[in-house]
Amino acid sequence: MNDYLPILLMIALVFAFVGVSFVASGLLGPKAPNSAKQSPYECGIVPEVEPAERFPVKFYLVAMAFIVLDVEIVFLYPFVTVFRQLGLFGLIAMGVFVFGLLIPFAYLLSVGALAWGPVQRRLSAGIGPVRRSAGAVFDPAAPTAAPEHEAA
Amino acid sequence: MNPGWDFHAIAPEIIISATIIVVLIADFFFQYRRRFQTSQLATIGVLAAMVPVVTLAVNGGTRQMFGGAFVVDPYSLALTGFFLAAAYVTLLLSVDYIGDGDYYQGEFYVLLLTSLLGMMVMTSARDLITIFVALETISIPTFVLAGWRKHDPKSNEAAIKYYLIGVLSSAIMLYGMSLVFGLTGSTLLRDIALAAPRTPHTSLLIVAVFLTLVGFAFKVSAVPFHFWVPDTYEGAPTPVTAFLSVSSKAGGFVAMLSIVFFGFFAVPDTWQPALWVLAAASMVLGNLAALRQTNIVRMLAYSSIAQGGFILVPFAVAADGHAARSSFEAVVIYLLIYGAMNLGAFAVVIAFARRTRSAEISTYGGLGSYAPSFAVLMTVFLLSLAGLPPLAGWFAKFVMFRSVLDAGTPGATVLGVIAAVMSVVAFFYYLRVVREMWFHPVPDSVNPEPVQIPLALNAAIGICAAIVLIVGIYPQVFARIGELAAGG
Amino acid sequence: MTLASVHLTDSYFLTFAAMLFSIGAVGLLIRRNVLVMFMCVELMLNAVNLTFVTFAKTLDDIRGQAIVFFVLVVAAAEVAVGLAIIVAIFRRRRGGATADDIDLLRG
């Protein structure tokens, strides 16, 4: 139990330091606010236009899909180092693994996540015409929820 | 060459993995009107996975794989069976909810089954890496499930809160694991158990174990890692809430059981004080906060925090006296019973909310007058959660207090007193709902006609009620499972 | 002093990892931009990776490096899910990505 003492002391010290710092800066610091000090950047050109436009969300989708599938491949490296010892069993096991990776890919294709080109207001045949949220317990707008427009 | 694979031992996991793939592929091909069949496929998979669990249990013995990282023994089988049963009930709860909402049905079941797969691996994991991967397999699908109603800002918020706290705690847990690896030179719990008492850096080991436990404390929503719980439970779809509060929480407790009992049991100083504080804080804060809730889902959220505190009590006393065995049993038995009664309570909430679209406790007014069987079942689940004999909840509390008595140290006694006081406090909020149902008039907003319940929900409520009643009257059923899990 | 004469011991790496981890943890708790919070999570996970690799070298145990693969993969899965949740939120909500906007539910 004595081993906890340094940790408790450390926690007490941390809080004491934070408290002292806040009180000291509040009491001792000079206060002379003006508009230049309040601005986000104290020097440089005042920004006049909003930053760049928002990117289409499609980029995020592709990036996410890429990251996950890309990183899974890292498991092939350790496999390669013991490829000969594992023999046929290892080959089959890795085959199952890679097959597993193919399924999300097929899923991406089927939901149209990889469909580039002009935006089409097309709902895939497998998805119903209107998605309702009836049955949702806490959804006050349940019967009148708008149809979904992002499946394009 | 087969490097030590025992296909019988991992058959349940293989079946669930195959089901995940089949459901996802089937979802591509099913026409829109037949999408509900994905739920049938998922249910078949879950039931099929129970077959090897039973055959393994009948064969008995302990099977090891991957150098002891994956162990199938009565303990892991008992909990795998529990997770499969809980997932089956969750599927029953979800079918109509997800079907009515037309929300991407196939994906829902894929994510639910993936989370289930993580839990099943967790029961057998005896290695820090396996535990970590299993915990993440449990968590990551549930982040998505919590945000399932993606056009509802509340559901979005539930997901992002759950997600941020989830990744923070898993990063902290991993850092703890990295320190444990450095101090003991192994990730196998068996080797850690040998190396931990001999490490010269005791202080660092305390930090390492504490950081590791933080990850699980989040998963089991122990105070002070509980902020996400009420918001996420309220915002998530209610069947998902039921799943989070039972299966996902039990997954965290299973990981804690393995780490504490198989890894660091010989060095109780590293985990006992932390778990004592978590248990006491969860019981006190969970029960007191539940008192002032007006929404039944939020009340059940705080009640589940409090129940988590009760389950942590045996952990906190495990190293004292001769409580090792009885505390292990207590945790397993409490988890099984808690699962049945909490799923039952949520099933009733879901069924009732189909009509009222509300979860305010006031809408339950007069339920006993127009839907008596429904009100009786809700009363059974709530009184069981409160721990009233002869419902299963009393036996859960009984095994918990037995482990406290077996420990017999002052610390254990104090914790036992807190648990006793808080059990009494718990009666107040559970009874408030019961009083609302039986003694209050029907509010104007509610149409007092008998509640129509779909078959699947009926089945779920029936299963939970049967377990609660049978175990309450014949606790030997679960007592035996607990004994077997603790090693014969 | 030439570069070769600087002897880097493991404690340098471990301390550096601990600092990275703390920066990430503090950043996650105090920053309000959700994307920056994600970066902080990555920072914490990479600090963990550094710790594992350092111990793998010290203990001469390849397992420490194998764990890093798992951490990387899990981190990628977490970030993909996190970004998906953010996209879902900001399709509804026009405006900046700050955690303060998300306050419908009060815990």
What HEC string does chain A produce? CCCHHHHHHHHHHHHHHHHHHHHHHHHHCCCCCCHHHHCCCCCCCCCCCCCCCCCCHHHHHHHHHHHHHHHHHHHHHHHHHCHHHHHHHHHHHHHHHHHHHHHHHHHHHHHCCCCCCCCCCCCCCCCCCCCCCCCCCCCCCHHHCCCCCCCC
Chain A CB within 8 Å of residue B411 CB: no
The reported pLDDT for the residue numbered B2 is: 60
The reported pLDDT for the residue numbered B3 is: 61
- Residue B225 sits at φ, ψ, to 5 deg, of -110, 40
**pLDDT confidence tier of residue A42, bands split at 50, 70 and 90:** low
More confident: B368 or C53: C53
Residues of A with CB under 8 A from a CB of B: 1, 3-4, 6-7, 85-89, 100, 103, 106-107, 110, 125-128, 130-140, 142, 145-146, 148
Chain A CB within 8 Å of residue B100 CB: yes
Cβ-based contacts of A61 with chain C (< 8 Å): 87
Beta-bridge partners for B127: B188
The reported pLDDT for the residue numbered B90 is: 92
If you average pLDDT over each of A47-56, B75-84, C7-16, which comes out highest? B75-84
**Distance of residue A33 Cα from the nearest chain C Cα, in angstroms:** 25
The reported pLDDT for the residue numbered B353 is: 83
Cβ-based contacts of A103 with chain B (< 8 Å): 21, 24-25
The reported pLDDT for the residue numbered A23 is: 92
Averaged pLDDT for residues B310-326: 85
pLDDT tens column, C26-85: 988 888 788 888 889 889 999 999 999 998 888 888 888 888 988 988 888 888 888 888
CB contact under 8 A, B101 and A136: yes
**Distance of residue C106 Cα from the nearest chain A Cα, in angstroms:** 15
**Distance of residue B445 Cα from the nearest chain A Cα, in angstroms:** 14
If you average pLDDT over each of A104-108, B20-24, B368-372, which comes out highest? B20-24
For residues B121 and B13, the answer to whether their CB atoms sit within 8 Å is yes
Range of A100's domain?
72-115
**Distance of residue B257 Cα from the nearest chain C Cα, in angstroms:** 22
Using the predicted structure, report yes or no on whether residue A119 has a pLDDT greater than 60. Answer: no
CB contact under 8 A, B152 and A125: no
Using the predicted structure, report yes or no on whether residue B31 has a pLDDT greater than 70. Answer: no
**pLDDT confidence tier of residue A131, bands split at 50, 70 and 90:** very low
CB contact under 8 A, A75 and C73: yes
Residues with Cβ within 8 Å of residue B295, at least 6 apart in sequence: B234, B359, B360, B361
The reported pLDDT for the residue numbered C5 is: 45
Amino acid identity of C3? L
Cβ-based contacts of B230 with chain C (< 8 Å): 105, 107
Chains that touch B (3 or more CB pairs under 8 A): A, C
pLDDT tens column, B97-112: 777 765 667 788 899 9
- Cα–Cα distances in angstroms (integers) from residue C25 to residues B58, B200, C30, in the given order: 48, 28, 9
CB contact under 8 A, A68 and C77: yes
Count of domains in chain A?
1
| Residue in A with minimal Cα distance to B236 | A138
Domain annotation covers residue A46: no
Using the predicted structure, report yes or no on whether residue A18 has a pLDDT greater than 50. Answer: yes
How many CB atoms are closer than 10 A to CB B439? Answer: 11
Q: In which residue are the tokens 């994991």 written? A: B125
**Distance of residue C4 Cα from the nearest chain B Cα, in angstroms:** 27
CB contact under 8 A, A68 and C72: no
**Distance of residue B189 Cα from the nearest chain C Cα, in angstroms:** 14
Whether residue B230 is preceded by a cis peptide bond, meaning omega within 30 degrees of 0, is: no
**Distance of residue A128 Cα from the nearest chain C Cα, in angstroms:** 20
**pLDDT confidence tier of residue B10, bands split at 50, 70 and 90:** confident
For chain B, the domains span 271-488
Q: In which residue are the tokens 């289409």 written? A: A56
Q: In which residue are the tokens 């990981």 written? A: B255
Residues 315-354 of B with CB under 8 A from A: 350, 353-354
The reported pLDDT for the residue numbered A123 is: 45
Of the ranges B161-175, B303-317, B445-459, C18-32, which one carries the lowest mean pLDDT score? Answer: B445-459
Work out the burial of residue C95: count CB atoms within 10 Å of its CB; fewer than 13 is exposed, 13-18 middle, 19 or more buried: exposed
The reported pLDDT for the residue numbered A52 is: 60
Nearest to B273 by CA among A7, A29, A39: A7
The reported pLDDT for the residue numbered B310 is: 92
CB contact under 8 A, A138 and B97: no
CB contact under 8 A, A71 and C72: yes
CB contact under 8 A, C51 and B150: no
**pLDDT confidence tier of residue A91, bands split at 50, 70 and 90:** confident
**Distance of residue B235 Cα from the nearest chain A Cα, in angstroms:** 8
If you average pLDDT over each of B39-48, B476-485, C91-100, which comes out highest? B39-48
Count how many pairs of residues, chain A against chain C, have C-beta atoms within 8 Å: 31
Averaged pLDDT for residues B341-353: 89
Cβ-based contacts of B238 with chain A (< 8 Å): 137
Residues 52-91 of C with CB under 8 A from A: 66, 69, 72-73, 76-77, 79-80, 83-84, 87, 91
Chain C CB within 8 Å of residue A64 CB: yes
Using the predicted structure, report yes or no on whether residue A63 has a pLDDT greater than 60. Answer: yes
* pTM for this entry: 0.84
Chain C CB within 8 Å of residue B158 CB: yes
User: Using CB atoms, which residue from A138, A142, A148 is nearest to B154?
Assistant: A138
Q: What is the largest CA-CA distance in chain C?
A: 59
The reported pLDDT for the residue numbered B339 is: 92
CB contact under 8 A, B181 and C41: no
The reported pLDDT for the residue numbered B419 is: 92
Cβ-based contacts of A87 with chain B (< 8 Å): 1
CB contact under 8 A, B103 and A3: no
| Residue in A with minimal Cα distance to C95 | A54
Beta-bridge partners for B188: B127
Cβ-based contacts of B227 with chain C (< 8 Å): 107
Domain annotation covers residue A109: yes
CB contact under 8 A, C71 and B179: no
Chain C CB within 8 Å of residue B143 CB: yes
More confident: B2 or A59: A59
The reported pLDDT for the residue numbered A27 is: 87
Chain C CB within 8 Å of residue A72 CB: yes
For residues B386 and B427, the answer to whether their CB atoms sit within 8 Å is yes
How far apart CA B380 and CA B341 sit, in angstroms, is 9
How far apart CA A58 and CA A116 sit, in angstroms, is 9
User: Using CB atoms, which residue from A86, A127, A138 is nearest to B32?
Assistant: A127
For an interface test with B, which of A130, A138, A139, A150 has the most B Cβ atoms less than 10 Å from its Cβ? A138
How far apart CA B69 and CA B191 sit, in angstroms, is 11
Domain annotation covers residue A111: yes
Amino acid identity of A142? A
The reported pLDDT for the residue numbered B116 is: 94
Averaged pLDDT for residues B433-452: 81
For chain C, the domains span 11-95
* CATH code assigned to C11-95: 1.10.287.3510
**pLDDT confidence tier of residue A127, bands split at 50, 70 and 90:** very low
Q: In which residue are the tokens 């064969």 written? A: B59
CB contact under 8 A, C91 and A150: yes
Direct distance between the N- and C-terminal alpha carbons of chain A, in angstroms, rounded to an integer: 61
For an interface test with A, which of B298, B357, B364, B457 has the most A Cβ atoms less than 10 Å from its Cβ? B357
Of the ranges A42-46, A56-60, B82-86, which one carries the lowest mean pLDDT score? Answer: A42-46
Of the ranges A3-12, A46-55, B341-350, B402-411, which one carries the lowest mean pLDDT score? Answer: A46-55
For residues A89-126, one letter each, b for 16 or more C-beta atoms within 10 angstroms of the residue's C-beta and e for the rest, the string is ebeeebeeeeeeeeeeeebbebbeeeeeeeeeeebeee
For residues B145 and B161, the answer to whether their CB atoms sit within 8 Å is no
For an interface test with A, which of C72, C74, C85 has the most A Cβ atoms less than 10 Å from its Cβ? C72
Q: In which residue are the tokens 């998902």 written? A: B240
Averaged pLDDT for residues A134-151: 37
